[in-house]
Amino acid sequence: MRPWVLALFCIVVACAAGWLGANYIPRLSDHDGYFLVDVVDPVRVPLPSPQPRVTLVVVDGLRADSALTMATVARLREHGQCRIADVGTYTVSRPIYALLSTGLEVDRSGARNNDETSALRAESVWQVATAAGLEVGVASHLPWWHQLFVTGFARTVEVAKDEDVFHAAAQLRTDVTVIHPVYVDTAGHAFGAASPEYRAAVDRVDAEALAWLQTVDLQREIVVFTADHGHVDAGGHGAQQPEIRGVLLCVAGPMIAVRSDAAAIDARIVAPTVAVALGLRFPRNMRALDDDLDALWTIFTGLDAEYVEDRRRSIDAFRQRNAEALAGWLDDGQPPTWNALADHARRARYWRIALPLALLAAAVGFALRIRGLGARQGAGSLVWIAGTLVVTAVVWVVVRGSFDYTSINERVPFIRASLLICAGVAIAAAWLHVRVFADPARWAADQATVTLIAIGLSLGHVFAFGWPLAFPVPHRFVLFFPFLAATFGVVHGGLGAAAALRWARSR
């Protein structure tokens, strides 16, 4: 192959890798959702007691260990219970707002990034409350709640990030309110959860929340206090480290059982908890089967027995309707559960993973063959290529802490770090290649092969997991891979073009 052809190939691949990386975030979400089951849940027995006012407080980025030090939490415990809630393996903010609001897991809600601003198809408890004639409001430093559920909030207040969101919420006094401060998360990203700045942000939210709580009558009003995710010590979230996915969930007020021995719970319980507290029907797409819905009756106490029985029957109806839908999607003999459907979908795409990998392996083998390399030379090139790939991944984990979303933390620092790491390893690998093989043509060809592998894996990811990303969300390493692969492809494509030009000059 001529040097200019090789250089052109590397440039085209570098551009393609950059384009795929830039479009990965839009590729993640589909707010129409996946395998949604609509269940209409009429409330046959109304809640006999006066309807309480309910407030959900979501402190963005608040780790459970930090929450346990807060005076606000201590007061809520006196009037209810606090327990660790599992938000799942995909700990990104907007998707978790959807999870808390709908009782539906991220795999099926379709909310999988923070950038998609369209409304979610899955129904939220806020929409249920609005449809029942209640006034629902949200006070937040972000517009994301209203964007997700446009018909769910009658009143919205977007507060400047340096202002007290609790003070703004106190002015709302709606029947149902969401309060959402973000500065703890901001400090976590900028400084890490082990930093004094993060501690200061926690102290600030504690002071503001405690002042607001003084205006709340916990004999008549219910407060649900939680977070969307935590942060690792160095800052970052998105994957499933325990300090990220296990948040504190406190529920306090009338009808709430006061207990200190409460076991861990699934964060999907938040939406049905609000529904039961208000005497409303459950959101129609709420997950049933493989669920934690029976834990509702460990949260509440003193409810009318007929009302509880009606709500139990509704949960059974949800489970039955979900089982019927699953039976239609699964092969005969498989248990009708959501976990079984996820396993079925994973098995169904094994060939979609194997096929591009086999084609890529064949392409690499063909490239080595047409170059006329002997077995020893071919093995040497393969070792260099594999070493470049592996060392890049290892250095990334050492420097950034993990090979998953958590290692991204913030967009600009991620781009900077990925460029530096990929370029640093690439230059070191190039230096080693020149020293060991001393052949400009071979370096250019090997560099082009690395670039081919990068774009091949990126295109294979699209083929295997879909555009938009299909159900279920893949393993956290696979989910993260396209971000780093984009930078890797751009760096090695550029270096491959440089290597081809060096080869041309040496001829």
Task: Render 1-29 in DSSP notation, one character per residue.
Answer: --HHHHHHHHHHHHHHHHHHHHTHHHHH-
- Structural domains for the chain: 3-28+343-506 (no CATH), 53-303 (3.40.720.10)
Whether residue 283 contacts residue 98, with contact meaning beta carbons closer than 8 Å, is answered with no
The per-residue pLDDT for 507 is 67
Which residues face 140 on adjacent strands? 158, 180
Residue 297's closest CA among 283, 286, 284, 310? 310
As a residue count, the chain comes to 507
The per-residue pLDDT for 1 is 64
Half-sphere exposure of 128 (CA within 13 A, CB side): 28
Chain CA centroid to CA 62, Å: 16
The per-residue pLDDT for 266 is 97
Residue in the block written with tokens 């539906």 = 104
List the 53-58 sheet strands across, edge first. Answer: 155-158, 136-140, 176-180, 53-58, 221-226, 246-252, 80-86, 265-266
The per-residue pLDDT for 376 is 87
Query: What is the C-alpha to C-alpha distance for residues 130 and 153, in angstroms, rounded to an integer?
Result: 7
Query: What is the C-alpha to C-alpha distance for residues 229 and 36, in angstroms, rounded to an integer?
Result: 25
Residue 136's closest CA among 123, 125, 147? 125
Using 70 as the pLDDT threshold, list the residues of the chain that sit under it.
1, 507
The per-residue pLDDT for 362 is 95
* Span 24-80, pLDDT tens digits: 999 999 999 999 999 988 899 998 878 899 999 999 999 999 999 999 999 999 999
Spell out a b/e string for 146-168, using b for 16 or more CB atoms within 10 Å of the CB, else e: bbbbeebbbebbbbeeeebbbeb
- Give 4's contacts (C-beta < 8 A, 6+ positions apart): 500, 504
Helix H or strand E segment including 55:
strand 53-58
Count of C-beta atoms within a 10 Å radius of residue 324 = 11
